[in-house]
Structure 1
């Protein structure tokens, strides 16, 4: 857990602003690489200094920053460019040319665009909405609590835009697959087909913060692909089993229930289920009983789900209503 201070929203019990700041009410829950990075920074700087104290991080080039405080934005921009150069050198040295970061036609990346890149990647991971919100201290959904009154500028606005873009990308990809003859199954299959049919109206649309809020408030577009559980969630709050006792307006993709009415699976998911089953069978061959027996059982369960998909899959043509006679 990482504890820090807030300044813009720091208030005393009477509502007066505290210029000296106050301890952040909710600490950050950090993953291991972040913890390791903090530990390294703590060894670089003095005990009473900021983690990014400019005096400790001066590299002996450029203008020396005066006074106390952390690194300036201009210095951080230079550091991001240095990071890109280092990453490219490492990729080249390791023979991984496909991972080289290409030159940016718009110039330096800068802190704002670097932050947006992080938002883009995190928002497209299962549970990424919550992860991104918690790390930046802004929450859009019902978990927001005390953050609801904060300005929607900065990362909060990016959160809306990138989540909306990820939603449109999901239904657009689904529509392309369905047009190519892909089959889909599950209790929410027809709702997924209907959502995908709306994808063409968003082609060429510039997603602004205002447009993003409209997209995210449209319950018919709430389609989330969840690669961790090999399914697609076509979210409907009234039918969701991941939120039986809460009022959350978005799905918890880490709490998917196999009997939920919001589940849909495509031919791609069925193929991935069989691939995962094969991996489990291979692992079982190197492990003792009863672990091996448990893996065999899970592999059989995954194949059963894939076989059920093959038996019940439909296409957009099959799901369309029959014309009147």
Structure 2
């Protein structure tokens, strides 16, 4: 019996050791499986991170590509716009050039036609310009006025010179009968037209005389109700003339004789007078706002008011109507009148 118990004990001991070994092997196997699972998890995490990074790279590449394509498109568009603008400017310049050439050709034809018609008119009736009756004079005046309206400034000057050479610019016809009455002679260089210093200048009432030039001339014509904006008067004698109700805005007068001229109602705003004689002239209602007077003699002028001095922008060495010499605008006061 003791032997039997000992054998049973040994078998039981052996069985426990076998069970322990099996349990140990099972634990090692479980640990290996856990390690495998951890490796798999880490691999999945790495794969996921790699995929995320790859997506970011792909997105950045796509974004950079879009930006490059946009910048390239903008450059191409800008280049196209610049080229288109250049083409438009070039086309406009060509159009303006062709238009100006056509205008020159058109104006030249108009002037030539007028000269031929004037020559034919005077030749047909075989009369001298001084002998024109009122009907022919009206015809010449109307044709002249229409033609002047269609010409540029250069050809207007040529037309006026044609009238001068034909002796149609004289003082025989007055007021509304004058050839240039109410005519558009803007831009005409009268100092290039009339080469006789003592020539009796015709009346030019109510004419458009903007941007005209009168230099080294002498005349006493009627220029009332005319427009002389931005005109140039230099070394001119217009004594005893009539320039009433004319507009002379932004014009320049230098070394000019205006003695006894009627300036009533004239507009001299922003004009410049330098070295001017205006003795005994009429200044009723004259506008002088922002005008400059330097070395101007107004002795004996009628209608000149203190307000006109105050409206000047500059004044120096001005002889006032009562003989007082105004050295600067600041010296102006009521007692000088």
Q: Please tell me the TM-score bracket, short chain as reference.
A: under 0.3
TM value normalised by structure 1: 0.23
TM value normalised by structure 2: 0.23
